[in-house]
Amino acid sequence: MTNRNRIGLTWISFFSYALTGALVIVTGMVLGDIANYFQLPVSQMSNTFTFLNTGILVAVFLNAWLMEIVPLKRQLIFGFVLMVLAIIGLATSHSLSIFSLCMFVLGVVSGITMSIGTFLITHLYEGRQRGSRLLFTDSFFSMAGTVFPIIAGVLLARHLPWYWVYVFIGLIYVAIFILTLCFEFPVLGRKAAVNAQPVAKEKWGIGVLFLSIAALCYILGQLGFISWVPEYATKTMGMDITAAGQLVGNFWTSYMVGMWVFSFVLRFFDLQRIVMVLAGLATVLMYWFVSSNDASMLKWIIMILGFSSSAIYTTIITLGSLQTKVSSPKLVNFILTCGTVGTMLTFVVTGPIVAKGGAHAALATANGLYAVVFVMCLVLGFVTKHRSHGHTTH
């Protein structure tokens, strides 16, 4: 593979994470306007976004097998067509059923691109370089989390229809589509197996189970937290919607900066030990945020929280890919699927909690999930295989 082609495929991975980040993170910003549009309570409307998360889950789960059947380039081109149709559906329909269907389709498109993006990075890079590249790739998720709440805030403040937010998100896939047409992709499945050396199958081990639980709880905790921060900040802490949106923006900005820093720092530390420390620190910081009564402190706490938790998820995925000598798409996609289950469950779990106990109860639940992540990373230290496979080298 030429270096030019490698760079092109890497950029597709970057944009794939930006697309998913934009779709998932803007939910908290547009939720109120969409609820008003359909004349539904916010807690009930939030359940509709489960279709988005379900679409992501279905696509990530199935793509572990589909990547070996349907060429990657063809999947991404087909995804572009689906994206255009879904955005047109959102803009032209006043039906809640059509809205739910379009959200599901957007989720499918997002899941396809993210699973391909993750596989490309694990396929193109090895060892700790894989970890740092995955971390930098995931920074585009948080970069979208920084940019798109601001875009959403500006559009909504100017009283533009909420679906314009999704039109802007669609521009990310335009970039993916153009890059897809310009570069060649790895060949998987039977065609690749003809010239490949046979590789003995390895057992994944119990460490993959711990990492999968950690991935699920981390994503569920993170999105459960950040999705209800605007509601908590406005209703409980008395902040206006602009300031609440800025809190979300601060979180993802520091998250993005943290990823850039840790993509360099991680090369010098054992991955299991550093992810355990970061998970413990993030748990303490989230507890501080949830229990603080000083609104002026929230922006500082959430910035430190974003920075310190930025490396957790991609390090979990990287550690998972290093539990066997040769990483397979199925192993990577399995852990990614578990994280996506957390995405799907975000409003299924937090919606009823908010309806009964308010946004503060949802934030406290997220804090408990972060504590589970810390415990999983702690016990992983006793069973991880990444050291015995010689993956601790640069």
Q: Tokens 């988005």 label which residue?
A: 52
Q: What is the CA radius of gyration of the chain?
A: 20
Q: Tokens 């066997």 label which residue?
A: 324
Q: Tokens 């533009």 label which residue?
A: 160
Enumerate residues 6+ apart whose C-beta is below 8 A from 45. 31, 34, 35, 38
The pLDDT score that the predictor gives to residue 164 is: 92
List, for residues 340-365, the tens digit of each pLDDT value: 788 778 888 998 998 899 899 999 99
List, for residues 310-345, the tens digit of each pLDDT value: 889 888 988 888 887 766 667 777 888 888 788 778
The pLDDT score that the predictor gives to residue 393 is: 43
Q: Name which residue leads in pLDDT, 69 or 104.
A: 104
Enumerate residues 6+ apart whose C-beta is below 8 A from 278. 308, 309, 311, 312, 315
Structure tokens at 48: 């509709």
Tell me the average pLDDT across 83-98.
Answer: 92
Report all structural domains of the chain as residue ranges with CATH numbers, in order of start.
3-184+202-380 (1.20.1250.20)
What gap in Å lies between CA 164 and CA 183, rounded to an integer?
30
Q: Taking 60 as the threshold, does the pLDDT of residue 28 lie above it?
A: yes
Q: Taking 50 as the threshold, does the pLDDT of residue 394 lie above it?
A: no
Q: Which of 4-18, 43-57, 332-346 has the highest mean pLDDT?
A: 4-18
The pLDDT score that the predictor gives to residue 202 is: 61
What gap in Å lies between CA 13 and CA 27, rounded to an integer?
22
What gap in Å lies between CA 180 and CA 9, rounded to an integer?
8
Instruction: Classify 268 as helix, strand or coil.
Output: helix
Q: How many CA atoms lie within 13 A of 4 on its CB side?
A: 4
Per-residue pLDDT band for 75 (boundaries 50, 70, 90) equals very high
DSSP 25-86: HTHHHHHHHHHHHHT--HHHHHHHTHHHHHHHHHHHHHHHHHTTTS-HHHHHHHHHHHHHHH
The pLDDT score that the predictor gives to residue 170 is: 93
Structure tokens at 221: 């905790």
Structure tokens at 31: 């939720």
Give the helix ranges, DSSP H, for the chain: 3-25, 27-38, 42-48, 50-66, 72-92, 96-124, 127-157, 164-182, 190-195, 206-235, 241-265, 271-291, 295-309, 312-321, 329-357, 359-380
Q: Which of 67-71, 136-140, 206-210 has the highest mean pLDDT?
A: 206-210
Return the closest-CA partner of residue 317 out of 296, 334, 295: 334
Q: State the pTM of this model.
A: 0.76
What gap in Å lies between CA 14 and CA 138, rounded to an integer?
7
List, for residues 258-282, the tens digit of each pLDDT value: 888 888 887 788 888 999 999 999 9
Q: Taking 70 as the threshold, does the pLDDT of residue 388 lie above it?
A: no
Return the closest-CA partner of residue 319 out of 339, 347, 299: 339
The pLDDT score that the predictor gives to residue 277 is: 95
Tell me the average pLDDT across 77-90.
Answer: 94
The pLDDT score that the predictor gives to residue 177 is: 95
Tell me the average pLDDT across 118-135.
Answer: 78
Q: How many other C-beta atoms lie within 10 A of the C-beta of residue 382?
A: 10
Quick check: 318 and 271 in contact, CB under 8 A? Answer: yes
Q: Taking 80 as the threshold, does the pLDDT of residue 224 lie above it?
A: yes
Residue type for position 91? A
Per-residue pLDDT band for 373 (boundaries 50, 70, 90) equals very high
Q: Tokens 């109860």 label which residue?
A: 361
What gap in Å lies between CA 321 and CA 135, rounded to an integer?
14
